[in-house]
Amino acid sequence: MTPALEAAYAQPHRRYHTRVHIEDCLGKLAAVGGLSARDRRILEYALWWHDAIYDPTRGDNEDLSAEMASRDLAAQGEDAAAIADVDRLIRLTKGHTVSAADRLGALMVSIDLSILGAPPAAYDAYSAQVREEYAHVPEAEFRAGRRAVLEGFLKAPILFPDAAFAAQYDAQARANLRREIERLA
C-alpha cells in the first residue's frame, strides 16, 4: 500500500470504505483459485484502489479512483495494458454490472458486493457505517435514497456475476436487502 492510499483509507469521514473493507476484499480474492499471476495482480491493484477516492457528496468517486490508480501504477512502472485493466475494473464498481464472459470483472464486482451477503450482524454493522458516511444527508432523504439503491440490487436478476460468489452469497444478500428495505420503510 502506498502512503497516499494509506492516508486515503484513513480519512476521518470513512466508516465502511476503509482499509478494513479493502483487506476483506483482498481476503476474498485470496480464496479464489484458477487465476494467473497477472490476473491476480490486476485484481489486487483494482481492489486496493477502487475506493481510494471516497467522498459521499460526489458521484465520480470511481472515476477519480481509477485515475489515481492509473497515475500511481504508471509511476511504479506498471505496463500500460495492466493499468488499462485496473482502470476498467475500478470503473465497473460504479454500476456493478458486467458481462458474464468477463471473469475478472465478475470477480471484481462480486468481491466488492460480497458484504451484501454477510451474516445479518455484519450486514447491519455495514449498513450503520454507510449511514454514518452519509450523516450530512437528512434522515428522510437518506431513507428514500438508500431504499431505492437497495431495491435496485434486489430487483437485479444477478447480484453476483461470479457463479461461486452467487452460490455463496446470493440468498443471504437478498434476505439482508429485504430486511433493510423493511426497516427503511
> Are residues 143 and 180 in contact, defined by beta-carbon separation less than 8 angstroms?
no
What φ, ψ does residue 59 adopt, rounded to 5°?
-115, 5
Q: How many domains does the chain have?
A: 1
pLDDT in tens, 153-181: 999 999 999 999 999 999 999 999 999 99
What φ, ψ does residue 118 adopt, rounded to 5°?
-70, 160
Task: Enter the pTM of the model.
Answer: 0.96
- Alpha-carbon distance 69 to 42, whole Å? 11
Residue 137: give its domain's CATH number: 1.10.1300.10
pLDDT in tens, 98-155: 987 899 999 999 999 999 999 999 999 999 999 999 999 999 999 999 999 999 999 9
- Alpha-carbon distance 13 to 178, whole Å? 27
CA angle 2, 162, 147 (to 5 degrees): 80
Single out the residue of 128, 127, 162 nearest to residue 43, CA to CA: 162
Read off the pLDDT band of 70 (50, 70, 90): very high
Which domain covers residue 147, as residue numbers? 3-184
